Structure 1
Amino acid sequence: MDLGTILFYLVVGAIVGLLGKFIAPGDKDNIPLWLTIVCGIGGMIIGGFIYSAFGGDGSAGLDWVQGIVAVLTAVVLVIIASTVTGRNTTRKV
């Protein structure tokens, strides 16, 4: 990995993480910003593997399907992070 690739994953991962945090249902988005960025980077990496596993071969330029898969994966990671860190504000009665 070169420096450009690492910077790309950091910047786009932050954007994907924020999108995931925005889309996460209800109070599932109550996690710190650094964890949101980690979820976004994880969403990009895991989403890329999922996309490839289902036959996605990418396209020249921006691949919208792979981006959607990355954002949805980030949403799941944000929900998991909120649950694991105990930052979920829902009370169970």
Structure 2
Amino acid sequence: MIIGLIARAILPGRQNIPIWLTIILGVLGAVIGNVIATVLGVEDTKGIDWIRHIVQIAAAAGLIAVVAPLWAKRVRR
């Protein structure tokens, strides 16, 4: 949930999507970000995995950037 909210906050402009969709895209972004981080060789640490979190937020932001305009077109009909 937090990843989706952070991703939505860093994107410029307004994203007219409901909070439930933000949460779903945040979860999907976290999963995709974990896969990408693993492929890139990001190791688990004893502390906070900053690189992994940044990749997760970037993936969620990409999903929101793609889905928000599609959602806006759907709602306008």
Q: Establish whether TM, by shorter chain, passes 0.5.
A: yes
Structure 1 residue corresponding to 2:6, chosen from 1, 15, 19:
19
TM-score by length of 1: 0.72
- Where does 1:1-93 land on structure 2 (aligned, <5 Å)? 14-27=1-14, 29-86=15-72
1:86 Cα shift?
Answer: 2.2
TM-score (norm 2): 0.86
Structure 1 residue 61, shift from structure 2 partner: 3.1
> Quick check: which has more Rg, 1 or 2?
1
- Dislocated runs of 4+, deviation >3 Å: none
75-84 or 44-53, which moves further after superposition? 75-84
Count the aligned residue pairs.
73
CA RMSD of aligned residues (A): 1.2
**Which 5+ residue runs of structure 1 have no aligned equivalent?**
1-13, 88-93
Q: CA deviation at 1:83?
A: 1.9
Q: What percentage of residue pairs aligned between the two structures are identical? A: 36
Worse-matched range after superposition: 59-68 or 35-44: 59-68
